[in-house]
Amino acid sequence: MSPMFENPEISLDDLPRVESVSWQPMDDSLALQLVIQQLLFVFIITAGSVGFRFMPNVTFLPAWLHLLIIVGITIPLVVWPYLSVKKRGIAVRDKDVLYKSGLVVNRLTAIPFNRIQHVETKQGPLDRQFETASLQIFTAGGSKGDLDIAGMERDRAESLRSMILKRIGSSIEDS
């Protein structure tokens, strides 16, 4: 009698090399979009902290220290996106979609086509201004997207979405 389930071991040398993947970078405007988001955040925090300075009976930091803290927070928030966007990339292979990101902690996500249930593109106000979009890929078991790829050229995101939908349609038919 033959076993119902087999799970043979695969040699690690037989696995495809991620280093050989041809990574596609994110749109050049993504770093600028992220900087604008960061500066809006800093502006809101700064406006709130400056408002506290004018409240009666509230002791606050000296103005020079207050300014130093704001500048000390702003500089990394502006530099970080330019460095981190260079580390992002997407690749589409025969059986999956790969996404890499991370400046300090490198992250590589692989989502097989046969696990994808839903794909959508979305655009916020800055995306519309820069003609970019985010691609969200959903797999089973969650209401939030398993992979959110921001900063893609809008047409590229839409064509990738269409291609993935065709692939998952054919993988459903093959099952």
User: Angle 39-34-53 (CA atoms, 0-180°, nearest 5)?
Assistant: 15
Sign of CA dihedral 16, 18, 23, 25: positive
- Give domain status of residue 140, yes or no: yes
Which residues make Cβ contacts (< 8 Å) with residue 113, sequence separation at least 6?
95, 96, 97, 164, 167, 168, 171
Q: How many domains does the chain fold into?
A: 2
pLDDT of residue 119: 93
Q: H-helix or E-strand containing 173?
A: helix 154-174
Q: What percent of the chain has pLDDT over 90?
A: 51
> In the predicted model, is pLDDT for residue 58 greater than 50?
yes
Residue 42, helix vs strand vs coil = helix
What's at 38, amino acid-wise? Q
99 and 43, same domain (yes or no): no
Q: Are residues 112 and 131 in the same domain?
A: yes
pLDDT tens-place string over residues 111-157:
999 889 989 999 999 999 999 999 999 988 666 668 999 999 999 99
Given a cut of 90, is residue 47 above it in pLDDT?
Answer: no
State whether 104 and 165 are in the same domain: yes
Range(s) of the domain holding residue 40: 30-84
CATH classification at residue 147: 2.30.29.30
H or E element that contains 52:
helix 30-53
- In a domain, residue 18? The reply is no
Residues 61 and 48 in one domain: yes
- Is residue 97 within 8 Å of 152, Cβ to Cβ? no
Tens digits of residue pLDDT in 14-39: 777 777 889 999 998 999 999 999 99
Paired strand residues for 153: 132
pLDDT at 175 over 60: no
The answer to the question of residue 14 being in a domain is no
Whether 22 is covered by a domain: the verdict is no
The answer on 115 and 167 residing in a single domain is yes
Task: Give tens-digit pLDDT for 73-121.
Answer: 899 989 999 999 999 999 999 889 999 999 999 999 999 998 899 899 9
For the segment 44-53, the average pLDDT, to the nearest whole number, is: 81
- Looking at the structure, tell me whether residues 77 and 105 fall in a common domain: no
> Would you state the pLDDT for residue 1?
57
- The verdict on 76 and 117 lying in the same domain is no
Q: What is the pLDDT of residue 82?
A: 92
H/E run at residue 50:
helix 30-53
Q: Considering the entire predicted model, what is its pTM?
A: 0.78
Convert 130-171 into a string of H (helix), E (strand) and C (coil): HCEEEEEEEECCCCCCCEEEEEEEHHHHHHHHHHHHHHHHHH
**Average pLDDT, rounded, for the chain:** 86
Confidence of residue 7 (pLDDT cuts 50, 70, 90): confident
